[in-house]
Structure 1
Amino acid sequence: MVDLSDAAFAAAEERGRIAMLTEPRAKTARYDERLDRIVVELVNGCTFLFPPRLVQGLGSASVADIAEVDTGAFGFGLHWEKQDVDVSVAGLMAGRFGTARYMAERFGPAWDAVAAE
């Protein structure tokens, strides 16, 4: 059962307010073909780059499809419509480019231990 009380609603609003202020969020994202990197400008003024082919679901995507990256309304994640790929900005910055299984298969068994934490 979902708690729809005023207190639960107020607590959810507060969690959202805190997330907007503290969690990494993308202001913009674009593909730089020369660097072969997704360039994410964060709302705090920092910039984060990563190779798109590390992301689960983008390995065989065309350059044109990779370039169609979207930050969404609040910038908590990146989205590629044609590939149906969604990743969180915080996850990317922590080095998570897909599911725990994908990470273990792609980057080795050490990721099994990380996923268990």
Structure 2
Amino acid sequence: MAEITDDQINTALARGEAVRLAEPRAASVRYDRQLDRVIVDLTNGCTFAFPPRLAQGLEMATADELAQVQMLGTGSGLHWKALDVDLSVPGLLAGLLGTASQMARRAGRITSSAKAAAARANGTKGGRPRRSA
């Protein structure tokens, strides 16, 4: 096993500090029962909130379970011990509320009047066109 040098440690510490300063971190987190939102106050003074039903692992959680949210480490993540759920703060800010496959499944369920109208229009034309080989 290679020996770790003081220079390597100092380089790693400098990289960690650069990331800490560049990435938004949670300063505090709470669940608001009236709004049904997880509210994250960030170290840069901004506040971010999201409905828990959109986040993977929180869809069926009770209000009491959601209220048990904790910050991880230096505010890089959120943790619900009873639910065994961890969410990344940078990921949440990027709109990532779960794994890629879970997000893709949810995207297919989204409905809107425009989507319904397009489906009806395709239906009157005989449905979705077949792929050509």
Normalization by structure 1: what TM-score? 0.85
- Structure 2: segments with no counterpart, 5+ residues: 109-133
Q: Distance in 1 between matches of 2:35 and 2:95?
A: 19
- Structure exhibiting the larger radius of gyration computed from Cα positions: 2
1:61-113 deviation digits (Å, cap 9, x = unpaired): 111001111112310110000111101111001000111111111124xxxxx
| CA pair 65-16 structure 1, distance change in 2 beyond 3 A | same
Quote the offset at 1:2 in angstroms.
Answer: 6.5
Q: Name the residue aligned to 1:71.
A: 71
Shift of 1:21: 1.1
**Structure 2 match to 1:53:** 53
Alpha-carbon deviation of 1:6?
2.5
- 1:5 positional shift: 2.6
Measured against aligned partners, the alpha-carbon deviations of 1:25-56 in whole angstroms (never above 9, x if no partner) come to: 00110011111111110011110011111111
- Percent of pairs with identical residues: 51
Task: Give the aligned partner of residue 114 of structure 2.
Answer: none
Corresponding residue for 1:14? 14
SS at match of 1:71: strand
Q: Which runs of 5+ in 1 are unaligned?
A: 109-117
1:99 paired residue number: 99
What CA distance in whole angstroms lies between the structure 2 residues aligned with 1:95 and 1:3? 40
Counterparts of 1:3 and 1:84 in 2: how far apart (Å)? 36
Task: Output the CA distance in 1 between the equivalents of 2:3 and 2:57.
Answer: 36
Higher relative contact order (CA 8 A, sep 6+): 1
Amino acid paired to 1:69:
V
Question: What is the TM-score of this pair, normalised by structure 2?
Answer: 0.75
